[in-house]
Amino acid sequence: MFSIFSQKVKHFFSPEENQRIVDAIREAERLTSGEIRVYVESRCRFVDPVDRAVELFYGLKMEKTALRNGVLLYIAIKDHQLAIFGDDGIHKKVGDEFWRNAVKHILSEFNAAHFCDGIVKIVTEVGAALREHFPYNSNTDKNELPDEIVFGK
């Protein structure tokens, strides 16, 4: 079912798909002070991908956003695992149900082999939640984290 997962991680997305994801991140962040990152690697070193997402979240210094409103989408391609981890600020606003629904939405796209579409869809949903709870303030907000996809091993 997921034969595309055998490709090298950095070449998992076509250049056009890579750009679509980066553009979705930029658009999602345009009207919010929140930050979204996407991290893709081959294998999850942990049994629970949420544990790996937490490790990466802090490794990428995403907790350093002023309002603690960073969100990491983590995907382990060969292990068919993913997690979405939101910092304290956004988690307190949206709660566990939001994250569970986001994972369900992305899994429905992934199960149909729509990987790029699934990522873009979740980035857009997370961006809408960030906009609602952390609207953009042109006097104080800046892009605190890079928008590019991070590719691990």
Does 8 map to a domain?
no
CB contact set of 125 (below 8 Å; sequence gap of 6+): 102, 105
**Domain assignment of residue 5, yes or no:** no
Domain count, the chain: 1
Residue 18 lies in a domain: yes
Check whether 5 has a pLDDT greater than 70: no
CB within 8 A of 10, min separation 6: which ones? 151
Closest CA to 29 of 146, 114, 149: 146
Using the predicted structure, report yes or no on whether residue 14 has a pLDDT greater than 90: yes
Domain coverage including residue 125: 14-151
| Structural domain includes residue 71 | yes
Instruction: Give the model confidence (pLDDT) of 71-122 as tens digits.
Output: 999 999 888 899 999 999 999 999 999 999 999 999 999 988 899 999 999 9
Q: What is the CATH number of the domain that holds 97?
A: 3.10.310.50
* 117 is a domain residue: yes
Per-residue model confidence (pLDDT) at position 2: 37
Q: What is the pLDDT of residue 146?
A: 94
Which residues are CB-contacts of 146 (< 8 A; sequence separation ≥ 6)? 37
Kindly state whether residue 87 falls inside one of the protein's structural domains.
yes
Per-residue model confidence as pLDDT tens digits over 137-153:
888 888 999 999 999 98
Strand 35-41 and strand 150-151: pairing? parallel
Residue 6 maps to a domain: no
| Confidence at residue 8, expressed as pLDDT on a 0 to 100 scale | 54
Inside any domain, residue 1 = no
Q: Report pLDDT digits (tens) over 35-68.
A: 999 999 999 988 899 999 999 999 999 999 999 9
